[in-house]
Structure formats: C-alpha cells, structure tokens
C-alpha cells in the first residue's frame, strides 16, 4: 500500500535537509529520499562558507556591509544575467538564514572573503574548517532530533502528476523494488549536474575532458523529472569551472586559501592575474597559460589560518620546503623568479597596493613565514548555475511562468540566482535560504490542501 506524507524531499544535501527541518517545524509529516548510501550530497564538499550581508556576526566583528552592495557584487559577478527577483530575495533573507542556522546549533561566526566580493561576508565555522562537513553534521543532528525519516539508497524515479497537481513520487530502492509515496508537496533538491559529463558536454563541448569536483550523485536527475511535469529551465549552459582543483584527486583547493593570503604562480615562477577575481576569469587565465595549470603558493601563516590546508597536507599533494628557493627547486621552477615574485608581492602587501594586477582584497600579510607551500592546480567543472525555474516562493514554474501545484525546488537544481558565474560562498547561502523557504511553503500548501 502506498505510504502517505505531507512533504517528500528529494535529495539530502543542504537544501533538502534545511527544507525538511523547516517543513517538520511547520507541522508537516516529512520524508527525505536519498539515492546515495550517505547523507550530504555535494554540500558536504562545500569548502569556503556562506555569504550574507548585514549579519549579527559581521556587526560583532565591526564589519560594515550592506545588502545593496552584496546584491550589486553578486549581479556583477553573474555578468548581470541573474534573475533580479530571486537575487533580491536571496540577499534579503541571507541574514535570517544565518540566524536560523545559529538557532539550530550551527554557528557560522568566523568570516572571510571570496573572489569578486569587496567585503568579508563569507561566514564559516569558528575553527575555520571547511563549511560542508560542519553544516551537514549540524543539519543531520536536527533531522535526528525531529525523528525525520530518511530513506538512503532510494531514488525518486518519477514525480506523480494528475490533473495538473503533484500527488507524490515513485521511488526505487536498492533492491530495485519500486513503490509509491503519496504527498501533496514534493520538494526537489537534487543538486546540479556537474558529474553528468554527457549533459555538461552537450551544453559546453569545450569542457570535455575536464575533471569535476562533484560527488557522483550530481547527475541532474531532478531537472529531467521536473521537465517531465512541465517545468521550464534557464541558463543550462552556464557551467562554472573552479580555478583551483588538484587534478590527481579532483580535490577542490578552497578559495579560502587565497582569501587567507595565498597567490597563484605560473610554472615560470610569476604571478599572472588578480587571484581574487571571480572564478570564471581566474579559470580563463589559467587555461591561457602555456602549461594550462598553476601553483597555489602560500606560507605557514596562511596554513595556520585555514584548517582546510591541513587536510590538503594530509592528502599528500602539498609540496613544502623550508625556504622559497628550495620550494622553487621542488616545483621545477626558476628559483630567482619565485623569490622575486614573493618579494614583489610582499611589498604590495606592505603598501596595500597591488601594482601588477590590482588585487584589492586579501592582501593579508607578507608571505614570509617558513615553511612555504605549493599545490599544483588546474580548473575543474564545479557548479551548474542553470536549472529549473522557480518563483520567489520556490514554486516550480512552467514555460508560461505559472506555478506547478505541489512542485517546489531549492538549491543547485534551480537556475537563475547566480546568472553566468556563481560567487564563492553563494551556493551554501542559496541552499540554506531557499531550502528553508521551500520547507515552509511546501508544508503550508500541503497542510492547507
Ligand atoms: P544542494 O546543494 O542543492 O542541496 P546537493 O548536491 O548537496 O544539492 O544534494 C543533492 C542530493 O540529491 C545528493 O545527495 C544526490 O545524491 C541526491 N539526489 C539526486 N537525484 C536524486 C534522486 N532522483 N532521488 C534521490 N536522491 C537524489
């Protein structure tokens, strides 16, 4: 016999978990369906943090920021392709989402910066560790506390739709048995499609052969399921490559390393661009180098400010040396060039003026504390900005821009918020902000109908 719920949440990344928690708090009977054997989706790999402007934590640190500036910088970073209504909602609700997390025992109260932003507004855990693991473990505690049911190794194969209204989902479990779950609301939070090479290459043939930073569940199945019930899509060809990906492991080297003061150096031992520019631009500059790769170079002080750096050291792909010259030898780089590059950069830090590339942010401190470190990186497929269309209530829209009754979507499966280029720290903000909203609205609709 079919089981009955108010709200079915498809996918257990940050968007799905936030939605489920909020829907449960709104009084709905909720189930989370996850096709992988573990909870957390691609969110668990999120590195740098969550952007928000005008937060309590910024005020506590004396950081002056404005929602207006956050809006403008995100729009500029997205090449003015962002959906203005969704972006406005995103910026408005961001501080509330930071408080919602804090109220649920998930404090993101240390603050750093990412490329394309002019102010420290990327909220991360107090111990400066990567945000993904911290966020997912905090959300899972909240799921458990509320006894929300989670079905792992179970895929949603189809969204059921009758007379223009969503009625539930068909799921397939690990034994290939299928069954029906009835629900008035289905929240699709299935993430992006960076790990679906065929789909990526369909939209962007030049990305054939690029590694991806994403987990293998990032196939875009939610987009296809929603299209089947009439959903429209937007910006499907806007696919982000992240500039700093370790190629042997596909491990993302967090933007927080550059945000903490690291630089990028070519095989010739020279800086070649403003490291704090947006991801699209930094990636393009790396691809334009003859070797199509570059080194992230940093010192001990940068390492001490980033827990992620220790993770990279443990992985074994960080080259380290007691002097800059010895590091250059190990990197097969001209010793004099690398030493001269660091010396010149350090002068720019002293003056707070990057005469060569106009880097304006994260000129944190001179890179002069041994040991010195280098990580070889090149761009990798990281985020799909496109996806299904929603309105500001997270209702999925059809091609006439009309809500599909009972269908909700949040997170990377949605298109439009980030335009043509997503700013670092805006994905976590997106999934939490719109996850909460989807949970609230889906519950309210299900309980009223
Ligand atoms: P977001 O960041 O938007 O929350 P994530 O990538 O973190 O997205 O999480 C999406 C989750 O959805 C992943 O764990 C993925 O395995 C899961 N998922 C994708 N498609 C399906 C499906 N058809 N059925 C169940 N789970 C799915």
What is the pTM (predicted TM-score) of this model?
A: 0.94
Q: How confident is the model at residue 148 (pLDDT cuts 50, 70, 90)?
A: very high
Average pLDDT over residues 162-185: 97
* DSSP category for residue 274: -
> Across the chain, how many H-helices and E-strands are there?
14, 21
Q: How confident is the model at residue 2 (pLDDT cuts 50, 70, 90)?
A: confident
Q: Is the peptide bond before 371 cis (omega within 30 degrees of 0)?
A: yes
Predicted pLDDT of residue 85? 98
Residue 283 has pLDDT above 80, yes or no: yes
Residue 256 and residue 49 in contact, taking contact as beta carbons nearer than 8 Å: yes
Residue 1 has pLDDT above 80, yes or no: no
* DSSP category for residue 361: S
14 Cβ inside 6 Å of ligand 1: yes
439 Cβ inside 6 Å of ligand 1: no
Please say if 204 is a catalytic residue.
no
- DSSP 3-state assignment of 439? helix
* CA pair distance 251, 254, nearest whole angstrom: 9
Do strands 165-172 and 178-182 pair parallel, antiparallel, or not at all (unpaired)?
antiparallel
* CA pair distance 69, 75, nearest whole angstrom: 10
pLDDT in tens, 331-381: 999 999 999 999 999 999 999 999 999 999 999 999 999 999 999 999 999
Q: How many angstroms does the Cα of residue 404 sit away from the middle of ligand 1?
A: 21
Give, for ligand 1, the residue of 8, 13, 155, 213 to mutate: max count of ligand atoms closer than 8 Å to Cβ: 13
Which residue in the list 279, 303, 359, 422 is annotated as catalytic?
Answer: 279
Q: How many angstroms does the Cα of residue 299 sit away from the middle of ligand 1?
A: 37
Predicted pLDDT of residue 412? 98
pLDDT in tens, 308-341: 999 999 999 999 999 999 999 999 999 999 999 9
Predicted pLDDT of residue 345? 98
Q: How many angstroms does the Cα of residue 9 sit away from the middle of ligand 1?
A: 10
């Amino acid at each position: 016999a079919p089981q009955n719920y108010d709200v079915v949440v498809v996918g257990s990344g940050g968007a799905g978990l936030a939605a489920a928690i909020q829907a449960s708090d709104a009084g709905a009977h909720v189930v989370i369906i996850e096709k992988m054997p573990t909870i957390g989706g691609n969110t668990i790999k999120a590195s740098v943090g969550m952007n928000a402007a005008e937060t309590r934590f910024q005020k506590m640190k004396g950081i002056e920021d404005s929602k207006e500036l956050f809006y403008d910088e995100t729009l500029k970073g997205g090449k003015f392709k962002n959906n203005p209504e969704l972006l406005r909602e995103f910026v408005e609700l961001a501080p509330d989402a930071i408080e919602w997390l804090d109220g649920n025992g998930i404090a993101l109260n240390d603050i750093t910066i990412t490329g394309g932003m002019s102010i420290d507004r990327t909220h991360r855990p107090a111990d400066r560790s990567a945000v993904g693991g911290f966020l997912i473990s905090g959300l899972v505690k909240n799921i458990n506390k509320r006894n929300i049911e989670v079905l792992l190794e179970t895929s949603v194969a189809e969204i059921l739709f009758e007379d223009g209204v969503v009625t539930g989902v068909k799921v397939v479990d690990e034994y290939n048995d299928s069954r029906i779950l009835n629900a008035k609301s289905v929240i699709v939070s299935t993430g992006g499609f960076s790990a679906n090479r065929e789909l990526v290459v369909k939209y962007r043939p030049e990305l054939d052969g690029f590694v991806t930073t994403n987990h293998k569940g990032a196939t875009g199945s939610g987009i296809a399921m929603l299209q089947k019930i009439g959903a429209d899509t937007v910006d499907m060809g806007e696919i982000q490559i992240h500039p700093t990906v370790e190629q042997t492991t596909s491990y993302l080297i967090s933007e927080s390393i550059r945000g903490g003061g690291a630089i990028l150096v070519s095989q010739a031992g020279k800086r070649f661009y403003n490291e704090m520019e947006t991801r699209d631009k930094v990636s393009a500059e790396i691809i334009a180098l003859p070797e199509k790769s570059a080194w992230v170079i940093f010192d001990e002080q940068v390492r001490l400010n980033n827990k992620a750096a220790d993770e990279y050291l443990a992985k074994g792909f960080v080259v380290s040396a007691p002097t800059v010259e010895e590091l250059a030898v190990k990197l097969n780089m001209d010793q004099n060039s690398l030493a001269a590059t660091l010396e010149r950069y350090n002068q720019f830090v002293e003056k707070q003026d990057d005469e060569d590339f106009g880097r304006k942010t994260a000129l944190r401190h001179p890179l002069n504390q041994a040991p010195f470190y280098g990580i070889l990186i090149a761009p990798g497929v990281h985020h799909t900005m496109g996806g299904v269309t929603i309105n500001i209530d997270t209702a999925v829209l059809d091609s006439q821009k009309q809500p599909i009754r009972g269908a909700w979507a949040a997170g990377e499966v949605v298109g439009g918020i980030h335009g043509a280029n997503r700013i670092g720290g805006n994905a976590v903000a997106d999934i939490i902000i719109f996850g909460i909203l989807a949970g609230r609205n889906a519950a309210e609709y299900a309980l009223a109908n």
